[in-house]
């Protein structure tokens, strides 16, 4: 019975040796570069509603359905920004996709103040309320 194990062990050793002693081929570096888009280039930013009321909409358009009304000093997390500046009620700005209180939608940027952190947005909201 020991005679059968020695050839199997030798065979296993030879197989492992041949696998690890083979020269590996150089692999080419295939890096993928994606063009910047509104979603890919957006970093987590925050906004404060500066208008007395602002409609959160399903799409970046005044013709789209309103989801809810946001009020002055509501703090929003910005998820992305539309690619083109648009004009609404005589003001030019981008549309921003935002999250607020479990909802997601679009708001027009002319009625927002933008901040790099949530803490900054909260400080600004407190100072507006004074």
User: Which domains, and CATH codes, for the chain?
Assistant: 38-125 (2.30.30.40)
Cα separation, 10 vs 2, in Å, equals: 13
Predicted pLDDT of residue 69: 97
Tell me if 58 sits within 8 A of 65, measured CB to CB.
Answer: yes
> In degrees rounded to 5, what are phi and psi of residue 68?
-160, 175
Q: What percent of the chain is helix, strand and coil (3-state, nearest 5)?
A: 30, 35, 35
| Dihedral over alpha carbons 121, 125, 128, 130 (to 10 degrees) | -130
Phi, psi of 14 (to 5 degrees): -65, -40
d(CA 71, CA 83): 25
pLDDT value of residue 128: 82
Report field, pTM of the whole predicted structure over 0.75? no
Q: How many CB atoms lie within 10 A of CB 36?
A: 9
pLDDT tens string, the chain, 130 residues long: the values are 555 556 777 766 676 666 666 555 555 666 666 565 554 444 569 999 999 999 999 999 999 999 999 999 999 999 999 999 999 999 999 999 999 999 999 999 999 999 999 999 999 999 887 6
Quote the pLDDT of residue 41: 45
């Amino acid at each position: 019975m020991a005679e059968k194990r020695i050839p199997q062990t030798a065979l296993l050793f030879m197989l492992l040796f041949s696998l690890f002693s083979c020269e590996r081929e150089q692999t080419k570096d295939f890096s993928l570069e994606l063009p910047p888009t509104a979603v890919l280039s957006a970093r987590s930013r925050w906004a404060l509603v500066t208008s007395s009321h602002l409609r959160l909409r399903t799409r970046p358009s005044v013709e789209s359905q309103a989801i809810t009304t946001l009020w002055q000093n509501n703090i929003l997390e910005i998820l992305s920004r539309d690619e083109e500046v648009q004009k609404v009620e005589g003001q030019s700005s981008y549309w921003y996709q935002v999250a607020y209180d479990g909802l997601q939608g679009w708001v027009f940027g002319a009625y927002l103040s933008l901040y790099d952190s949530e803490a900054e947005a909260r400080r600004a909201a407190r100072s507006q309320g004074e």
